[in-house]
Amino acid sequence: MFCSEWAIVKVTFKSAHVLPLKCKCWTCDECRPGRTRRVVEEAKRGNPTFFITLTSRRRPDLTPSQAAERLVIAWRKIRRDYMDDHGKGSIAFMAVFEATRKGWPHIHIVARCKSFQEMWLRERMRKLIGSPVVNVRRIHGKSKIAAYVTKYIGKNPHRFKGTKRYWRSLDYLLPPPEEPYDEWAEIPYWHVEQRFWLFVAEDLAAAGYDVKAPWGQAPPYLQQPSQWRPKCPP
């Protein structure tokens, strides 16, 4: 299946919604911006209190992927040491890889904890992987969170071999605000049609449904007039 080749459909009484089914791959030019926006929103949702950057000193005996794996292991040990000192669950985080212009890895971390000392982190990184260049900043206000997350976390996360583009602790995401109970939301209206979304939408329109679909996104070679397709605004 190619991106947007199939359709996701919801039929309710006399109306229908038809949308292209996205592949949601980071390598897809169409889906990558949406994936990046999701990372940004998740980073904000954790309500972090510290920004942390870990770097890796360039070494001729390491590839960028090997350096990235060493960074992951180092952060895992640092977080474990922190919780040994401050208690279980004392730090929640989300980490995102970024590559420098020369392709070398570093990690941007948004963390929720009461305190975090840069000197302590520097010494731990020196002992673990010989890379003491770090940065720790405390967050003051939601506007600062949004600005930092958009600037650093919102870049295209890089995937090094053997690592994830981004990851987070299970307790990082805070629960969303409670919403009124909607019994209709539990009804599984949406389903997948293994046909091109435009043909599905036109068939439903021909059957008498009021169809909502991204008509203007149809490929140019399929944008010829159709008696079922509403006119798109100029």
Average pLDDT of the segment spanning 151-168: 84
How do residues 178-200 score in pLDDT, each as one tens digit? 666 555 555 557 888 888 888 88
Q: Do both 148 and 51 map to the same domain?
A: yes
Q: Please report, rounded to a whole number, the percentage of residues in the chain having pLDDT higher than 90.
A: 40
Q: Which residue has the higher pLDDT, 226 or 53?
A: 53
Asked if 110 and 93 count as a contact pair (C-beta separation under 8 A), the reply is yes
Q: Do both 90 and 202 map to the same domain?
A: no
How do residues 38-74 score in pLDDT, each as one tens digit? 888 888 889 999 999 999 999 999 999 999 999 999 9
Q: Please report, rounded to a whole number, the percentage of residues in the chain having pLDDT higher than 70.
A: 85
Query: Phi, psi at residue 20, to the nearest 5°?
Result: -65, 140
Residue 188's domain comprises: 7-25+180-222
So what's the pLDDT on residue 234?
45
Q: Is residue 17 part of a domain?
A: yes
How do residues 32-45 score in pLDDT, each as one tens digit? 777 788 888 888 88
Q: Is residue 89 part of a domain?
A: yes
If one counts the domains in the chain, the total is 2
Q: Which of 122, 144, 168 is the last residue of a domain?
A: 168
So what's the pLDDT on residue 213?
85
Q: Do both 100 and 197 map to the same domain?
A: no
How do residues 104-133 score in pLDDT, each as one tens digit? 999 999 999 999 999 999 999 999 999 999
Q: Which of 145, 168, 191 is the last residue of a domain?
A: 168
Asked if 29 and 212 count as a contact pair (C-beta separation under 8 A), the reply is no
So what's the pLDDT on residue 185?
57
Average pLDDT of the segment spanning 214-226: 65
Q: Do both 92 and 157 map to the same domain?
A: yes
Most confident of 7-11, 81-85, 204-208: 81-85
Q: Is residue 232 part of a domain?
A: no
Global pTM? 0.74
Q: Do both 162 and 195 map to the same domain?
A: no
Most confident of 14-18, 66-70, 144-148, 192-196: 66-70
The one-letter amino acid code at 172 reads Y
Q: Is residue 98 part of a domain?
A: yes
Q: Is residue 188 part of a domain?
A: yes
Q: Is residue 42 part of a domain?
A: no
Q: Do both 111 and 55 map to the same domain?
A: yes
Asked if 168 and 42 count as a contact pair (C-beta separation under 8 A), the reply is yes
Q: Do both 68 and 109 map to the same domain?
A: yes
pLDDT over 70 (residue 220): no
So what's the pLDDT on residue 38?
83
Q: Do both 52 and 112 map to the same domain?
A: yes
So what's the pLDDT on residue 71?
96
Please count the helices (runs of H) and the strands (runs of E) in the chain: 5, 9
Q: Do both 164 and 205 map to the same domain?
A: no
Q: Is residue 175 part of a domain?
A: no
- Cα gap 7→203, rounded to integer Å: 12
Q: Do both 161 and 193 map to the same domain?
A: no
So what's the pLDDT on residue 52?
95
Q: Is residue 67 part of a domain?
A: yes
Asked if 87 and 79 count as a contact pair (C-beta separation under 8 A), the reply is no
- Nearest to residue 135, comparing CAs of 99, 106, 163, 113? 106
Name the burial class of residue 169, with classes exposed (0-12), middle (13-18) and buried (19+) by CB atoms within 10 angstroms of its CB: middle
Q: Do both 155 and 133 map to the same domain?
A: yes
Q: Do both 160 and 213 map to the same domain?
A: no
How do residues 74-84 score in pLDDT, each as one tens digit? 999 999 999 99
CATH number, domain with residue 131: 3.30.70.1910
